[in-house]
Amino acid sequence: MGQDKLLTTTTLILAAWVMIVIAWERIAPYRKDLPFFREGFWVDLVWYTLIQSYFLKILIFDYIIQSAQQHFDWTNFQLVKSWPLAAQVIFFTVTHDIYIYLFHRFQHSNKVFWRIHEAHHSGKQVDFLAGSRSHVFEIIINQTIEFAPIILLGADPAVVPIKALIDAMFGMFIHANIRVNLGKLKYLINTPQLHLWHHANYIEVFHANFSTKFSVWDYLFGTAYDPEYQPGNQPEKWGLGYSFPKDYFLQHAFSFKRFDEQQLLKNQWFFRYYNIRPALLKKLSRLCAKLKPKGANKILQQQEQSVY
Ligand SMILES: [Zn+2]
Ligand SMILES: [Zn+2]
């Protein structure tokens, strides 16, 4: 299959998976009454999923990996070139997954590296989209370590889009607000139950459930936490135990210097910037009030909560 056709196929599979997971969250929710347009929905979708991913893909592939390719002769390191495609995909998926388990575990125990991971834990309403919330530096480190070996060790070009698809599908699955019973397979494949607990604000999980795709690492290294009960729905049971900025840029600034977002709002220029989106929503509300389309009021009320 040509690279273009493969890209179209992986994009279509991903789109279908998004629809399946959204429907699944409605049919078998882990936490009941979690709104679709939950707090931070638009920050996660627009800033993290669309804008940040787009620019980081260019930076990682076209600048970091390409310059590594140009400044060193990798011909003697083409270790996987002769392997079948499936073997290459399995090899890179498993090796990267164990790396991500170890790095994630390190981030939870190191004060500096926690600063580039805490954003991922800041959401209090975790759903299929919540996994996209990752600090710029965290993505640069993890995706360079993920994709540089694939390219530099001479893997089939198809491995990149296939691996990216597997990442996106697993990322959505483990963060999805769904109840799923994998039986004994839960000791091998990670589940939303295990990862949703990782996002809970309980001391028991501050150093537990670090796995991404394969939960086997947590069971093997004694860091699995899987009680019979759920964390509960109250906001204080989820996310961080301290206040965290809601704005995308401030979330990044907060990793370098601590400040109070509410205090910054006293600055008129910041106040204006911060209120661009709520002001746009108000305008939309007024327009909808005139046109009165069916169900619009309920959706707009949810939007006001989700804009930050
Ligand atoms: Zn974590
Ligand atoms: Zn997560």
Check pLDDT > 80 for residue 305: no
Is the same domain home to 94 and 216? Answer: yes
Is the same domain home to 132 and 197? Answer: yes
Is the same domain home to 207 and 130? Answer: yes
What's the CA-to-centroid distance between 288 and ligand 2, angstroms?
Answer: 36
Q: Which ligand places an atom closest to the C-alpha of 130?
A: 2
What's the CA-to-centroid distance between 118 and ligand 1, angstroms?
Answer: 7
Helix or strand holding residue 232 (H, E): none
What's the CA-to-centroid distance between 189 and ligand 1, angstroms?
Answer: 17
What's the CA-to-centroid distance between 176 and ligand 2, angstroms?
Answer: 10
220, 242, 264 - which closes a domain: 242
Check pLDDT > 90 for residue 100: yes
Q: pTM for the whole thing?
A: 0.91
Q: Which ligand places an atom closest to the C-alpha of 105?
A: 1
What's the CA-to-centroid distance between 293 and ligand 2, angstroms?
Answer: 36
**pLDDT mean over 253-273:** 92
What pLDDT was estimated at residue 294? 67
Is the same domain home to 167 and 306? Answer: no
Q: For the purposes of burial, counting CB atoms within 10 Å of the CB of 36, is it exposed (0-12), middle (13-18) or buried (19 or more)?
A: middle
What's the CA-to-centroid distance between 108 and ligand 1, angstroms?
Answer: 6
Check pLDDT > 90 for residue 275: no
**What are 22-31's pLDDT values in tens digits?**
999 999 999 9
Check pLDDT > 90 for residue 242: yes
Rounded to whole angstroms, how far apart are CA atoms 244 and 12?
35
Is the same domain home to 291 and 217? Answer: no
Q: Which ligand places an atom closest to the C-alpha of 194?
A: 2
In a domain, 91, yes or no: yes
Q: What is the domain range of residue 214?
A: 3-242
Is the same domain home to 204 and 297? Answer: no
What pLDDT was estimated at residue 76? 86
Rounded to whole angstroms, how far apart are CA atoms 229 and 220?
23
What's the CA-to-centroid distance between 279 and ligand 2, angstroms?
Answer: 31
Rounded to whole angstroms, how far apart are CA atoms 120 and 299?
26
**What are 130-148's pLDDT values in tens digits?**
999 999 999 999 999 999 9
Check pLDDT > 80 for residue 73: yes
Rounded to whole angstroms, how far apart are CA atoms 121 and 199?
6
Rounded to whole angstroms, how far apart are CA atoms 98 and 183?
22
Check pLDDT > 90 for residue 1: no
Number of independent structural domains in the chain: 2
**pLDDT mean over 228-239:** 95
Q: Which ligand places an atom closest to the C-alpha of 195?
A: 2
Sign of the C-alpha dihedral computed for residues 205, 211, 214 and 220 taken in this order: negative
**pLDDT mean over 244-272:** 93
With contact defined as beta carbons under 8 Å apart, do 30 and 173 qualify?
no
222, 242, 262 - which closes a domain: 242
What pLDDT was estimated at residue 166? 98
What pLDDT was estimated at residue 121? 98
